[in-house]
Copies of this chain bind each other. A is one copy, B any other.
Amino acid sequence: QYEQMARSVHGLKAAGEWHVLESLMPDLKGKSVLDLGCGFGWHCRYARERGASSVIGVDLSENMLNKARAMTNDTAIEYIRLPIEEISFPEERFDFVLSSLALHYIESYQNVISNIYRLLKPGGTFLFSVEHPVFTSREEQEWHVDREGNRVFWPVDRYQSEGIRTTSFLAENVIKYHRTLSTYLNGLISAGFLVQAVAEPMPSEAMLAAQPEMADEARRPMFLIVSAGRAS
Instruction: Give A contacts to B, CB under 8 Å.
Output: 134, 137-138, 144, 152-161, 180-182, 185-186, 189, 194-200, 202, 217-221
Sampled A-B contacts (10; CB under 8 Å) = A144-B144, A153-B155, A154-B159, A155-B156, A158-B218, A160-B219, A180-B221, A181-B200, A185-B195, A189-B197
Distance to closest chain B CB from A188 (angstroms): 9
Q: In the complex, which residues of chain B have a beta carbon less than 8 angstroms from the beta carbon of A186?
A: 197-199
Q: In the complex, which residues of chain B have a beta carbon less than 8 angstroms from the beta carbon of A158?
A: 218-219
Distance to closest chain B CB from A132 (angstroms): 9
Pairwise interchain contact B159-A156, C-beta atoms closer than 8 A: no
Q: In the complex, which residues of chain B have a beta carbon less than 8 angstroms from the beta carbon of A156?
A: 134, 153-156, 219-220
Question: A160 touches which one: B180, B182, B195, B218 (CB < 8 A)?
Answer: B218
This chain: how many copies in the complex?
2
8 cross-chain pairs, A with B, having the tightest CB-CB distances, nearest first: A153-B155, A160-B218, A153-B157, A185-B198, A154-B156, A182-B198, A195-B195, A182-B200
Question: A200 touches which one: B155, B160, B197 (CB < 8 A)?
Answer: B160
Q: In the complex, which residues of chain B have a beta carbon less than 8 angstroms from the beta carbon of A157?
A: 153-154, 219-220
Distance to closest chain B CB from A223 (angstroms): 11
In whole angstroms, what is the CA distance A219 to B194 when docked? 29
**Most chain B CB neighbours (cut-off 10 Å) among A137, A194, A196:** A137
Distance to closest chain B CB from A23 (angstroms): 13
Q: In the complex, which residues of chain B have a beta carbon less than 8 angstroms from the beta carbon of A220?
A: 137, 156-157, 159
**Most chain B CB neighbours (cut-off 10 Å) among A138, A156, A200:** A156
In whole angstroms, what is the CA distance A158 to B152 when docked? 11
Q: In the complex, which residues of chain B have a beta carbon less than 8 angstroms from the beta carbon of A185?
A: 185, 195, 198
Pairwise interchain contact A221-B153, C-beta atoms closer than 8 A: no
Pairwise interchain contact A189-B181, C-beta atoms closer than 8 A: no
Question: A159 touches which one: B134, B180, B181, B199 (CB < 8 A)?
Answer: B134
